[in-house]
Chains A and B, each alone.
Chain A
Amino acid sequence: MKLTSGFRHGVHPREEKGLTSQLPIRRMPFPDEIVLPLRQHAGNPATLCVKVGDHVERGDPVGLADGWVSVPIHASASGTVTDIGWWPHPDGSMAVAVRIAVDRYAPQVPRPRMVPHWEGLSTDEVVRAVQDAGVVGLGGAAFPTHVKLAPPSDHTVHTLIINGAECEPYLTSDHRTMAEYPARVMFGIRVMMHAMQVNKCVVGVERNKPDAIAALQQALPADLDITILPLTVKYPQGAEKMLIQAVTGIEVPSGKLPVTVGVVVQNVGSVAAIAEVFETGLPLIERIVTVSGHGLRRPANLIVPVGTKLRDLLAFCDGVTPDAAEVIIGGPMMGQAQANLDAPVLKGTTGVVVLERFETRLDKVYPCIHCGRCLEACPVFLNPSLLGDLARVTRYDDMVDLHLADCMLCGSCAYVCPSNIPLAQLFQAGKVALRRAKVGAA
């Protein structure tokens, strides 16, 4: 197998990781209230299994998996269900959510539970345990992890790739996970390799995390074929297809899943979450969140209970500066700007970034001058300049012919655009319009 360390094109945004990259992970205290939307993952939302007035212990389910591509949601603190209804969701919409008033004086100790011993379990049993624990991809997309553990039977997986690239500016949660919990990461890899019956694993980490790379090297078990691969520092190095190309040299065919080339990619945070399931039996009820940005008074890497409201999270970090203007869930390249600070931290929330006013994109938009910078930035070699022209006149069908479906909305084109054209937004609008048209036709 050819080992390379990069893909073509891409961009180099200011990293800004120094704000938090050397800060140890700390635990945030339980807030007074947690809010758990039932829609936190890709696939079907969970189905409600509690009612108003119920008492829940930490780790009890409040929503059950609805089908195969779905996972349950668990209470991240013990308390009383006070309300079930619409609540602001970080994606900008409203979603049905369970509100729990946290018991101020509860010990917050989960109920005693069986911890499955991984070696005795079959693939199906591991997959079931991971699904029951509500584990999803912690890199942001929140795709249910167990689905990727059980690839379709007509494909064989030869390599498991662990994504520790963390190419988004500001974010350091994966970095700290690898640097502080390398043994847990290795244990998670061991369970996954066992479950998937894969003999080879590569962990891709960008070179700007030397301490994480060193910690992982130290923790490498002797009996497994695991490689730590330092990667070029470039955005979007952590995009699935870019990472696969960097590790294997293979381009995943357009419109196909990575499994068609015998590869499965899991985020390093998800690996740690799986390890936790088989160490403590606890479901995914808290996650590591980077809270950062020049608009925040005290940046930090925090273990945050899922369902903590942004308001409480920012307050715990001593609040924001007077010039703070934009609060983003995720990184600044692909994250979502928040209109309501009551929106909660979800399983897929990698970070919260607060930008100051001058850092935002509220600038004049100029016409496209056809400089071609977006073509040189696009990691999947599209022509964003032309696609943008088509999107503005809503010629979405023509965009399909120009491979709109291959756009992963990484935002590299809009990042480099000197005319400040919101290309990624235009493409997202095109994708949504096409999806709606398809639903309408069916």
Chain B
Amino acid sequence: MSTPIVPKLIVTASPHVRSQDSTPVIMWNVVGSLVPIIAAAAWFFGVSALLVVLAAALGALLTERGIGRGGTLADGSAVITGLLLGLTLPPGLPLWMAFLGGAFGIGFGKLVWGGLGQNVFNPALVGRAFLQAAFPVAITTWPTVGGSFWTLKGDLFAFPFTRPNTDAITSATPLGLLKFEGKGTDVLHLVIGNTGGSVGETAALVILACGAFLAYKSYLNWRIPTSILFTVAVFSTLLHLIDPRRPDALFMLFSGGLMLGAVYMATDLVTSPVTNRGRWVFGAGIGVLVVVIRVWGGLPEGVMYAILFMNALVPFINRATQPRVFGTRLGSAT
């Protein structure tokens, strides 16, 4: 008998096979699913939208590369953070602010916690919260939709730490119109996205479609957006029935950053619960907070704070919703 030759035996622990979905595969699929949303943003806001997203992404990537441990760019998670942050910013925001937001989001939202998988708060929203606190005027200056593709909106190239020129033609977001002027907006415009608002938050239908793709590939958990949207719909319908001057469910669902927040921000794997029951609770909490902030809060929009607040509760939600171990009954010895 001849001796079979296996030149170098690999010895690993079981299991010796694994499924196809790796962490980079998941991350880069999410990045890919953002492309249609960015394209929609370019359609509505022109080249300005692309520049803002690019600046935020650059800030995120350079920070990850600069102060993160080596070789973590390839996992794609910093790209997601940068792109998502860019999509939540106004199309006319000075680019240096967008860049700073990306850098802050990665630096303080992710790297100081220990990098990928360790952070408690969604890094993109940490970056946005920072911008909201640091530049409250610039981040609520909404250029109008329309105009030529090449028209630069707002004061994109404002020099850092100078007062940006905000004299350009601006409009209010549908939520702002409602809150401060009592004006409604046609739901059809909200669904399509040709309203004032952040770069990538207005095209609700496109976001839903991209989310459906990710959910189909099981790269995001459908329970979280479902739970958020359902809660918002029920809660706002209830309030609308009590006081018809309050917005109805359709307006609530399709305005502001709710769609992007529900589909992309709240479903961030790292900062959402690991149990399915926890995901329902997490989504419901966000839904309630969104409506509460929008209806009774001082700000027109509350998705960002709602998600950040619920992020903080994730460890507790996880602990409270641990699955029942096989062979143990509720109430029996643990």
Residues of B contacting A367 in the complex (Cβ-Cβ under 8 angstroms)? 115-118
Q: Choose one: B6, B117, B327; the contact of A370 (CB below 8 Å).
A: B117
Residues of A contacting B77 in the complex (Cβ-Cβ under 8 angstroms)? 369
Report whether B274 and A419 are in contact in the complex, using a CB–CB cutoff of 8 Å.
no
- Using a CB-CB cutoff of 8 Å, which residues 353-378 of chain A contact chain B? 353-355, 357, 359-363, 366-372, 375-376
Q: Choose one: B17, B75, B272, B325; the contact of A254 (CB below 8 Å).
A: B325
- Verify if B3 is at the interface (C-beta below 8 Å from A): yes
Cα distance, A253 to B325, chains bound together (Å): 10
Report whether A332 and B325 are in contact in the complex, using a CB–CB cutoff of 8 Å.
no
Report whether A254 and B327 are in contact in the complex, using a CB–CB cutoff of 8 Å.
yes
Report whether A362 and B12 are in contact in the complex, using a CB–CB cutoff of 8 Å.
yes
Residues of B contacting A424 in the complex (Cβ-Cβ under 8 angstroms)? 13-15
User: Smallest CB-CB separation from B16: which chain A residue?
Assistant: A332
Report the tally of A-B residue pairs with Cβ distances under 8 A: 191
CB distance from B79 to the nearest CB of A (A): 15
- Verify if A334 is at the interface (C-beta below 8 Å from B): yes
Report whether B11 and A381 are in contact in the complex, using a CB–CB cutoff of 8 Å.
no
Report whether B4 and A314 are in contact in the complex, using a CB–CB cutoff of 8 Å.
yes
User: Smallest CB-CB separation from B322: which chain A residue?
Assistant: A383
Report whether A253 and B328 are in contact in the complex, using a CB–CB cutoff of 8 Å.
yes
Known contacts A241-B326, A252-B327, A383-B323; decide if A414 and B15 are in contact (CB<8 Å).
Answer: yes
- Verify if A123 is at the interface (C-beta below 8 Å from B): no
Report whether A366 and B4 are in contact in the complex, using a CB–CB cutoff of 8 Å.
no
Report whether B116 and A417 are in contact in the complex, using a CB–CB cutoff of 8 Å.
no
User: Smallest CB-CB separation from B8: which chain A residue?
Assistant: A325
CB distance from B163 to the nearest CB of A (A): 41
- Using a CB-CB cutoff of 8 Å, which residues 339-398 of chain A contact chain B? 339, 341, 353-355, 357, 359-363, 366-372, 375-376, 379-383, 385-386
Report whether A326 and B3 are in contact in the complex, using a CB–CB cutoff of 8 Å.
no
- Verify if A338 is at the interface (C-beta below 8 Å from B): yes
Q: Count B interface residues, CB 8 Å.
A: 47
Report whether B16 and A337 are in contact in the complex, using a CB–CB cutoff of 8 Å.
yes
Most interface-central of A256, A328, A363 (chain B CB within 10 A): A328
- Verify if B293 is at the interface (C-beta below 8 Å from A): no
Residues of B contacting A381 in the complex (Cβ-Cβ under 8 angstroms)? 323-326
- Verify if A148 is at the interface (C-beta below 8 Å from B): no
Residues of A contacting B25 in the complex (Cβ-Cβ under 8 angstroms)? 418
Cα distance, A311 to B311, chains bound together (Å): 55
Residues of B contacting A383 in the complex (Cβ-Cβ under 8 angstroms)? 274-275, 322-323
CB distance from A238 to the nearest CB of B (A): 15
- Verify if B227 is at the interface (C-beta below 8 Å from A): no
Most interface-central of B4, B75, B273 (chain A CB within 10 A): B4
- Verify if A111 is at the interface (C-beta below 8 Å from B): no
CB distance from A38 to the nearest CB of B (A): 24
Report whether A425 and B13 are in contact in the complex, using a CB–CB cutoff of 8 Å.
yes
- Verify if B10 is at the interface (C-beta below 8 Å from A): yes
Report whether A415 and B275 are in contact in the complex, using a CB–CB cutoff of 8 Å.
no
- Verify if B171 is at the interface (C-beta below 8 Å from A): no
Q: Interface with B: A156-164, A172-180, A316-324, which one?
A: A316-324
Report whether B16 and A355 are in contact in the complex, using a CB–CB cutoff of 8 Å.
yes
Residues of B contacting A401 in the complex (Cβ-Cβ under 8 angstroms)? 334
Q: Count A interface residues, CB 8 Å.
A: 76
- Verify if A169 is at the interface (C-beta below 8 Å from B): yes
- Verify if B245 is at the interface (C-beta below 8 Å from A): no
Cα distance, A269 to B264, chains bound together (Å): 51
- Verify if A44 is at the interface (C-beta below 8 Å from B): no
Report whether A357 and B115 are in contact in the complex, using a CB–CB cutoff of 8 Å.
no
Residues of B contacting A379 in the complex (Cβ-Cβ under 8 angstroms)? 326
Report whether A311 and B4 are in contact in the complex, using a CB–CB cutoff of 8 Å.
yes
Residues of A contacting B115 in the complex (Cβ-Cβ under 8 angstroms)? 367
Residues of A contacting B292 in the complex (Cβ-Cβ under 8 angstroms)? none
- Using a CB-CB cutoff of 8 Å, which residues 402-440 of chain A contact chain B? 403, 406, 409, 411, 414-420, 422, 424-425, 428
- Verify if B162 is at the interface (C-beta below 8 Å from A): no
Report whether A370 and B269 are in contact in the complex, using a CB–CB cutoff of 8 Å.
yes
Give a binary string over B293-334; 1 marks a CB under 8 Å from any A CB, 0 the rest: 000000000000000000000000010001111111000001
- Verify if A151 is at the interface (C-beta below 8 Å from B): no
Report whether A253 and B327 are in contact in the complex, using a CB–CB cutoff of 8 Å.
yes
- Verify if A249 is at the interface (C-beta below 8 Å from B): no
- Verify if A251 is at the interface (C-beta below 8 Å from B): yes
- Using a CB-CB cutoff of 8 Å, which residues 186-216 of chain B contact chain A? none
- Verify if A336 is at the interface (C-beta below 8 Å from B): yes
Residues of A contacting B169 in the complex (Cβ-Cβ under 8 angstroms)? none
CB distance from A287 to the nearest CB of B (A): 20
Most interface-central of B1, B17, B77, B318 (chain A CB within 10 A): B17
Known contacts A253-B328, A254-B327, A381-B326; decide if A411 and B15 are in contact (CB<8 Å).
Answer: yes
- Verify if B62 is at the interface (C-beta below 8 Å from A): no
Q: Choose one: B16, B117, B221, B323; the contact of A360 (CB below 8 Å).
A: B16
Report whether B117 and A333 are in contact in the complex, using a CB–CB cutoff of 8 Å.
no
Known contacts A369-B116, A380-B327, A381-B323; decide if A375 and B14 are in contact (CB<8 Å).
Answer: no
Cα distance, A311 to B274, chains bound together (Å): 45
Residues of B contacting A319 in the complex (Cβ-Cβ under 8 angstroms)? 2, 4-5
Cα distance, A362 to B272, chains bound together (Å): 29
- Verify if B145 is at the interface (C-beta below 8 Å from A): no
User: Smallest CB-CB separation from B1: which chain A residue?
Assistant: A315
Q: Contacts A320-B5, A406-B327, A420-B23 given; 9 further ones with Cβ under 8 A?
A: A252-B327, A254-B325, A325-B10, A361-B15, A361-B16, A366-B24, A372-B276, A382-B325, A418-B23
List of 8 A-B pairs having minimum Cβ-Cβ separation, nearest first: A411-B15, A425-B13, A380-B326, A372-B274, A254-B327, A367-B117, A319-B4, A381-B323
